[in-house]
């Protein structure tokens, strides 16, 4: 009887669909205001999930936006979903606040 219940429970759990998850994260604006800053956004989709990460980046280090955005999104996918994401799969955009 226990074996039958264990098998039934296993079948129910394995038949439960995994749900896609979409998440957005945006940092708080700088305390000194947004003058001299740009928004650096990384976005990717994988395994039915999507993740967008937006940070304020000082215009003096804006050249690092691409690297920072890709690292943040890759880390986010690994932490939240256990998915190893290729950094080249991350779309990076820069905009003004």
What pLDDT, on a 0 to 100 scale, did the predictor assign at position 20? 72
- Please state the pTM of the whole predicted model: 0.75
What pLDDT, on a 0 to 100 scale, did the predictor assign at position 97? 87
Q: What is the DSSP string of 7-49?
A: HHHHHHHHHSPPPP-EEEEEPPPPTT-STTEEEEEEEEEETTE
pLDDT in tens, the chain (97 residues): 556 544 545 444 433 445 678 889 899 999 999 999 999 999 999 999 999 999 999 999 999 999 999 999 999 999 998 999 999 999 999 999 8
Sequence-separated (6 or more) residues with CB below 8 Å from residue 90: 42, 43, 44, 69, 70, 73, 74
**Torsion angles phi and psi, residue 41, rounded to 5:** -120, 130
Q: Which contiguous run of DSSP H or E holds residue 83?
A: none
CA distance 23 to 53: 8
Angle at 11 between CA 8 and CA 16, to 5 degrees: 130
């Amino acid at each position: 009887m226990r074996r039958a219940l264990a098998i039934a429970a296993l079948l129910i759990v394995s038949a439960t669909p995994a749900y896609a998850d979409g998440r957005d994260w945006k940092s708080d604006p700088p305390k000194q205001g947004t003058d001299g800053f740009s928004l650096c956004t990384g976005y990717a989709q994988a395994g039915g999930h999507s993740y967008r990460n937006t940070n304020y980046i000082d215009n003096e280090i804006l050249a690092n936006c691409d690297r920072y955005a890709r690292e943040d999104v890759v880390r986010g996918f690994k932490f939240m979903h256990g998915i190893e994401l290729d950094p080249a799969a991350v779309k990076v955009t820069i905009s003004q606040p």
